[in-house]
A and B are shown apart, each in its own frame.
Chain A
Amino acid sequence: MSDVVVARSLDEAQGALADHPGATVLAGGTDLMVEINRGLRRPSHVVGVAQVPELRQWSIADDRVIVGGGVTYTEMMTTPLADAAPALAQAARTVGSPPIRNAGTLGGNLGTASPAGDTLPVLAALNAKIVVVGPDGERRMALDDFVVGVKRTSLRPGELIVRAEMDRPAGRQEFLKIGPRNAMVISMAGLALVADHDARAVRCALGAVAAGIPRARVAEAWVAERIDWDNGAGVDDEVAAEFGQRVAAASSPIDDHRSTAAYRRHAVAVLATRALKRAFTEEGAADA
């Protein structure tokens, strides 16, 4: 009962959105169709973007990885994209099941803007800029400015998520996620950690433990000073444990039917400790 336009180019998609600024964008439909089937949303106009070539592009440069809004999880998991943004590939692998990963997209994960969206901590840790276009032209913003609340974005009517531009630092990347079973779960707690050996920085962001996607900036700065960047091998167990506690302080989890705040905070500390140790093994240093 909706009026559906299947756009074949970015221009067509923008044109359709200009005609109906209130229209709903449909990418893989793995979030949207669930809501429609549950009767939670009844869009009158739908613009399908799964066949827009501009959104399906990605590119890799020395210091940058650019991923189009229409790139699927399966594509994120595939070389060479997977090698250029390993944490993104790791996060993609945790999403749903193969059919969901074949359909679901980065743009859709951003559009839904759930705190449990698994690519979001990765984007935050990789300093991603989200690029959107709309009637007012192009806007670029940090994830913090894009995700403004639980399932709320700063996307304006008629705007499309075109791509995310992220850093490609020299160093290990880790994404870890906890759920109530061993696959196909909504995150109870997720964490992305990136080592940047050139900048001598560690960047760490959290999923499903706050209304947004917090970066553990205090902990990042604290640990950067305690890593032996010149020799690069390993981190001290005590440092890693303390780092975990400091990262957990950046979370503000709640009790809900999926888990408790206490467990989530505890889990974040464990995940952060483990991620840090994995990122600073000897091989990690060699990678850098």
Chain B
Amino acid sequence: MTSEAVNTAAGGSTATGTGADTIVDAGTRGVGANVGRPDGVPKVQGRFAFSSDLWADDFLWGHTLRSPHASALIRGIDIGPAVAMAGVYAVLLADDVPGCLTYGLEHGDQPALADGQVRYVGEPVALVAADHPDIARRAAEAIVVDYEVTEPVTDAEAAPTADPIHPDGNIFREIAIRHGDLDVTGEVVVEGVYEVGMQDQAFMGPESGMALPDEDGSVELFVSTQWLHVDREQIAACLGIDEEKVRLTLAGVGGAFGAREDLSLQVHLCLLALHTGKPVKMVYSRDESFLGHVHRHPAKMWYRHHADRCGRLVKVEARIVLDGGAYASTSSAVIANASCFAAGPYKVPAAHIVGLAARTNNPPCGAMRGFGAVQTCFGHESQMDKLAAALDMDPVELRLLNAIAPGDRLVTGQVITGTFPTAEVIRQCAYAPEPEIPPSDDRRDLPGGSGRTTDAADTVRGTGFAVGFKNLMFSEGYDDYSSAACRVSDGVATITCACAEVGQGFVTLAQQIARTELGVDEVILAPAQTATIGSAGSSSASRQTWMSGGAVQAACREVRTQILADMAADWGVSPDGLVLRDGLVVSLDGQQEALLAQVTAGAGYEADVEYHHAPTEPLDENGQGNAHVSFACAAHRATVDVDPDLGLVRVRDITTAQDVGRILNPTQAVGQIEGGIAQGLGLALMEEIVLDDGLVRNASFTDYVIPTTLDMPDVTIAAFVEEPEPGAPYGAKGIGEPPTISSSAAIAAAVRAATGQPLPRIPIRPADIALG
């Protein structure tokens, strides 16, 4: 086995970025082909094994007792009544955590179990393991916790000056971006205050997993997560054992969208398993799931845009406040993103952007698809429309006039060196043919849908447009590498990578890549685990196609090189004249040919690589620096029908164009785009965690509503704008997040266009329109 690091800092060996790289041979099942996903049919038929389906002999059920208070001191806990119940095997408290009590992705400030104090509703306080899930639940209810309730801090703007609710203080991060001449002013100035509610990732498969203890004190955990290795690191620290003693395997994941980046039940399961000596399983209920993971940060944003009389942006000022909730999670990275991308994909010569992520007694907020860019996109796009109105200019022309392009600088001073076809994306989307929406007698096609509230005569139509962008991969100097191994034996390729398949389609793509690189058809994807392979990084930040795709590609190429070198030696020719194709090693001159299965008989060949993206830098005290690897943008045009009297909305069409670099699997690309738009629609019109003094009022799918098929319109993909990205494997950019970033803003703009109301807040509630 060889081990090697591949660095593609300057385009490197992995991609040409010119489009000359062979992508597909149509009709093959390689890269670029419409290969069906192996998990697709089982999922639709209900045969896919999710992490909630795990089973073992003689296992116990775990349950978590959670805080009912947003802020309280714990004066005492009486576990006696729970311990006394028949069928209860363990009741654990903070004192039972053998290692470090706290964990966290960026700052370890979150206790695995509350230690004398609770800081949000839902904070884990005690754990129970019992031989029946209902007994575990009842035992948890029987635990008597003596709380001294204290006044919660629930306003993020007031938090920095309030008494600290955590030893680390109430500020996760303050960031200032100062760019260009801050004294300039524009001839035309528009100002606005915007708000975004707290969205939930609302994945379908609740948190679940199973831990199995080993006699040697190690533990095996099967769990749905986004990043196995970072889970392992945090779990081992809490358990106080070596990382090698914690072995994770990815179990079937029912969606993630950022909500599985932080730990939920991982430490709890391992604690219970090691304590009882038995396998322990946990499955959160839907209600519990809403309390058991982080949400999208709610935002308050003040903006002032300056432009010259022709509409050229002169300066953007913004102040962004994100409510990070009780613990740090990824707040400091989210506020960095929100601030870095606050001005949108535009050329902005001067910018003063101030971002604050504050700690409150609200539920913790962290990663969610779009990661900070969603909130500020709603802000900057609302401002661009306002500016267009002030200039009496077409909003699309205003955007085209200011669209950023390669060679331009972001407000962080970073020069765009990769592809960034913002103007083309705007044009393709905005100038696509108007959707054909035939008049319908069916009230289900109208606002109010099956509720029969609205006739066509009660509606007005509006169209809105928005464009947004964000970074791909982690930023600010973070080296989020990925690892992969490839083995070819008897003509069959086996790929090992710890990349978490969370629904994005990596399992399909990894096989496509191996086929393309090795000329084989059969590719086995080994389970994602921590025992035999290094970290793949997180399935987030639109990064796995690039990073783990890159690792798989590099591992395959390394094996290919080995095989060709040996065959070249055998045949006495140069390896440059040899290729792998159709299960054969062939020489391009047609003189030599061998079956790959024979060449790789037995042990075969293998390679194990680490793949790194080009390094980035931290931001300096003025928020300047080359902090990001690459960028992608998308545009959305929404057409909506609104019933202004009742404030009800039916989105009729979303047309989109997206900067994708290169499409590696068209169906999967469409899936990401449609799904991302549905999530954006949800944020625009309905999805919000409703809080009342820190208490979640709608922790269920009864009251936290997400779009149904009667809410989702047809999605028209006007164009995949394919400009291969230098340095990216096959030139492909991540495509998971951009669909969510600007779709919300486009829908809000369309509702404004229909109603003439300012609507500065999403989600837009019926009362905001009807009584606004």
- B-binding residues in A (CB < 8 A): 1, 37-39, 90, 93-94, 97, 174-186, 188, 256-260, 262-263, 266-267, 270-271, 274, 278
Contacts and interface: CB of A to CB of B under 8 A. Distances in A.
B198 to A, nearest CB: 13
Interface string B701-723: 01101011111000000000000
Chain B contact residues (Cβ within 8 angstroms of A): what range? 35 or more
A93 B75 CA distance: 52
Q: 9 shortest A-B CB distances, which residue pairs?
A: A182-B449, A257-B697, A263-B767, A183-B710, A177-B451, A182-B710, A257-B690, A183-B450, A183-B708
A184 B708 contact: yes
Interface stretch (B245-253, B256-264, B644-652): B644-652
Given A94-B450, A263-B771, A266-B770, A181 B455 contact: no
A184 B767 CA distance: 19
Given A37-B285, A257-B703, A176 B453 contact: yes
14 contacts: A39-B134, A94-B451, A177-B453, A179-B705, A180-B765, A182-B447, A182-B449, A183-B710, A184-B708, A186-B702, A186-B703, A259-B767, A262-B767, A263-B771
Interface string B145-179: 00000000000000000000000000000000000
A1 B133 CA distance: 12
Contacts of B448: 176, 178, 182
A257 B453 contact: no
B417 to A, nearest CB: 43
A260 B711 contact: no
A185 B702 CA distance: 7
A99 to B, nearest CB: 13
Contacts of A182: 444, 447-451, 648, 650, 708, 710-711
Given A37-B285, A182-B450, A183-B710, A263 B770 contact: yes
Contacts of B766: 178, 180, 188, 259, 263, 267
Contacts of B647: 263
B703 A38 contact: no
A234 to B, nearest CB: 14
A178 B765 CA distance: 12
Contacts of B703: 186, 257-258
A189 to B, nearest CB: 9
B594 to A, nearest CB: 57
A271 B771 contact: no
A266 B89 CA distance: 55
A163 B771 CA distance: 41
B473 to A, nearest CB: 35
B448 to A, nearest CB: 7
Contact of A183 (B444, B685, B690, B771): B444
Contacts of B138: 39
B43 interface: no
A208 to B, nearest CB: 11
B484 interface: no
B698 interface: yes
A97 B450 CA distance: 11
A25 B679 CA distance: 39
A260 B771 CA distance: 11
B288 to A, nearest CB: 10
Q: By CB atoms of chain B within 10 A, which of A90, A97, A185 has the most?
A: A185
B264 to A, nearest CB: 19
A1 B287 CA distance: 22
Contacts of A37: 285
Nearest to B452: A176
B451 A179 contact: yes
Given A181-B705, A257-B697, A93 B450 contact: yes
Q: By CB atoms of chain B within 10 A, which of A178, A182, A186 has the most?
A: A182
B137 interface: yes
